[in-house]
Amino acid sequence: MRPGMIDAAWLPPEAWRAVGSRRIRVTGSGLLVDTVAGELRRACERFGGEVVRGSGGPPCDLEMSLDGDAGLGAEGYELTGDDTRTVLRAARPHGLLYGMFHLLRSDDAPATGAFRPAVSRRMLDHWDNVDVHPVMGQVERGYAGGSLFWRAGEPRRDLARITAYARLLAACGINAVALNNVNVHATEARLLTDRLGEVAEPAEVFRRYGIRTHLAVSFAAPVLHGLSTADPLDRRVRDWWDGVTADVYAAIPDFGGYVVKADSEGQPGPFTYGRSHADGANLLADVLAPHGGVVHWRAFVYNHRQDWRDRSVDRARAAFDHFTPHDGTFRDNVVLQVKHGPIDFQPREPVSPLIAAMPATRVGAEFQITQEYTGQQRHVCYLAPMWSELLRGEQGPAIAEFAAEFVAVANVGDDPFWTGHPLAQANLYAFGRLAWDPGLEPAAVLDEWAGLTFPRGPRRLYDTLHAIMDGSWRAYEKYTAPLGVGFMVRPGDHYGPDVDGYEYTPWGTYHHADRDGAGVDRTVATGTGCAGLYPKPWSKIYESPDDCPDELALFFHHLPYGHVLQSGSTVIQHIYDTHFAGAREAAEMRERWAGVAGLVPAATHERVRELLDEQVRSAEEWRDQINSYFFRKSGVPDAEGRRIY
């Protein structure tokens, strides 16, 4: 790739060929309709088609109009037609935008039918800092270079790149972004006030692609700006937020709202003033409501200074215990943003019990596209199969049944491939698509992504991508922490194995391995009671070591090494077998990738090839550390006599 070039990701020029060679009529007016017409015009200039605006005149082979049925909602669309003529109807401009991208991914055989998203907000949270943070850098947990929005304290103003980004997001259905880190430091707090222009500028670009811009704010913002208190029930505090919020809307009329991480990992919150999280969230909801904004209030509240000796405290219950007493007391424009699992984005966790326990609250489920705990965009780890299991409820309550919206931490940066690992682009694409339709098959989403990203490739290329990516999350799971116990990562940067790295720390993430067994007893009978927080039948299933899914066995139970799992294997033998298998699968991925040289752009092939070397190395390191650790603890040899150190 030439210096300064940016990868086209899932919208290379070729992806527009089928649409761009048609005669297209676009009727309707307004910003989004202009965007649609502009995009199509560019494609037609390249591929010989034509765009006409307005009604009347001879029929075109693609007709787009805003006379769709109101039942299609604000973003839905309807496709009808045959081989020669396609009609795309929407009730609102957003529908035309999404319908246009539908035509791209279905190429020259557009599906017919009515399509509308499962939820109205599909959002990305960027954890971008304005200043370079001394520990976390420009993007917290970012593995794809610098921020798209700021560099070393200054706005980047790279509107061409933001435009390309907004187009990619719209093409997979994202309609909301928060620009800055949920950990709001002093400089970032000024984005709300004297640095608001740095938000307004990208917001204008996003608006053209149907995306509303949100901002992460500090609960202590009034204090940071000179007030003596941030008490949510203090009149002066409310007035301050009122005034600031009015200014935000004057600059960004379609501003989405605030994202707040309060009383969490050192961030300020209502607890400082003896107030509840409902008091805190409702204050911001009230000031946003007249402008049509929402507050995303994160439920990631737990004691990060706990005593590891005290086994009665369980981080997995913390959010449930904090928030369920407040169900029904949050304003309608509060979204309680809950991480999908009860701990923290591990490769395997049960669904957070909180998600199913707030029937009178608008819940947003939060996922992590950035691969903090899943290989940091150095490992291939296609996350759609994990998300799909969680959404559909294969091992717990179905998130899709309970969540009113979906949010995810973004994985992009100023890396020429956007995501560091070129194949990690698929995770961003897949999140958008699953947020639109949680029922989609992960392999079908991969087909879409691969077909758009590498158009008109030979079947062998797509088969290889499936062979590498479909099972990559499970491969990652196999060579890292076993049976759902989680967090055997190096403290701080969270890359690579360190079995006891967090075991004697205040963070609440333990495995309790000893010479007899491993895992955390979260049962009601003898443990922390976390298993009992789930609706039936899950509370019963998790409570019993015989019924609990193997993948979650050590999440809910402390089990002897000789305990026989449902698979028929013992805990210790499962650990050995999966670790040998996982590392082998990583090596197979590398071999497979070697076989598609010449079928993808050379720069893409080379980048993935280099990263697969690191993945194989890291997987072997994981395998050997985990196996040696458990062999030394248990003294039980591998039944197959393989090499353990």
| Residues annotated as part of the active site | 265, 344, 372
What is the C-alpha separation between 411 and 337, in angstroms, rounded? 18
CB of 373 to ligand GCU, least distance (A): 8
> Judged by CB, which is closer to ligand GCU: 344, or 577?
344
> Judged by CB, which is closer to ligand GCU: 417, or 487?
487
Residue from the set 182, 252, 295, 357 that interacts with ligand GCU by CB under 6 A: 182
Task: Return the DSSP state at 268.
Answer: -
What is the C-alpha separation between 3 and 26, in angstroms, rounded? 37
Burial 444-457 (b: 16+ CB within 10 A, else e): ebbebbbbbbbbeb
Q: Are 298 and 262 in contact (CB under 8 A)?
A: yes
Residue from the set 207, 212, 261, 296 that interacts with ligand GCU by CB under 6 A: 261
Site for ligand GCU in 461-520 (CB under 6 A): none
CB of 275 to ligand GCU, least distance (A): 21
Give me 308's structure tokens: 């590891």
CB of 176 to ligand GCU, least distance (A): 18
> Judged by CB, which is closer to ligand GCU: 162, or 176?
176
- Our CA angle for 581, 585, 586, nearest 5°, is 120
CB of 517 to ligand GCU, least distance (A): 28
CB of 140 to ligand GCU, least distance (A): 5
CB of 180 to ligand GCU, least distance (A): 12
386 φ/ψ angles, rounded to the nearest 5 degrees? -65, -50
Q: Does position 286 bind ligand GCU by CB under 6 A?
A: no
> Judged by CB, which is closer to ligand GCU: 78, or 372?
372
Q: Does position 300 bind ligand GCU by CB under 6 A?
A: yes
Give me 606's structure tokens: 């080379």
> Judged by CB, which is closer to ligand GCU: 102, or 141?
141
List all residues 6 or more positions away from 293 whose beta carbon is below 8 Å from its beta carbon: 245, 249, 255, 256, 257, 258, 333
CB of 372 to ligand GCU, least distance (A): 6
Q: Helix and strand tally (H, E) in the chain?
A: 20, 19
> Judged by CB, which is closer to ligand GCU: 320, or 561?
320
What does 161-223 look like in DSSP terms, one character per residue? HHHHHHHHHHHHT--EEEEE-SS--HHHHGGGTTTTHHHHHHHHHHHTTT-EEEEE--TTHHH
What is the C-alpha separation between 53 and 60, in angstroms, rounded? 11
Site for ligand GCU in 33-92 (CB under 6 A): none
> Judged by CB, which is closer to ligand GCU: 338, or 452?
338
Q: Are 317 and 355 in contact (CB under 8 A)?
A: no
Query: What is the four-CA torsion angle of 29, 32, 33, 37, rounded to 10 degrees?
Result: 140
Task: Return the DSSP state at 535.
Answer: P
Residue from the set 175, 183, 388, 509 that interacts with ligand GCU by CB under 6 A: 183
Site for ligand GCU in 599-628 (CB under 6 A): none
CB of 496 to ligand GCU, least distance (A): 15
What is the C-alpha separation between 364 and 384, in angstroms, rounded? 18
> Judged by CB, which is closer to ligand GCU: 201, or 314?
314
Q: Where are the beta strands (DSSP E) in 228-333?
A: 257-260, 294-298
Number of residues that bind ligand GCU (CB under 6 A): 8
Binding mask 342-381 for ligand GCU (x = CB under 6 A): --x---------------------------x---------
78 three-class SS: strand
Site for ligand GCU in 131-160 (CB under 6 A): 140-141
CA atoms within 13 A on the CB side of 632: 9
Q: Under the rule (CB under 6 A), what is the footprint of ligand GCU?
A: 140-141, 182-183, 261, 300, 344, 372
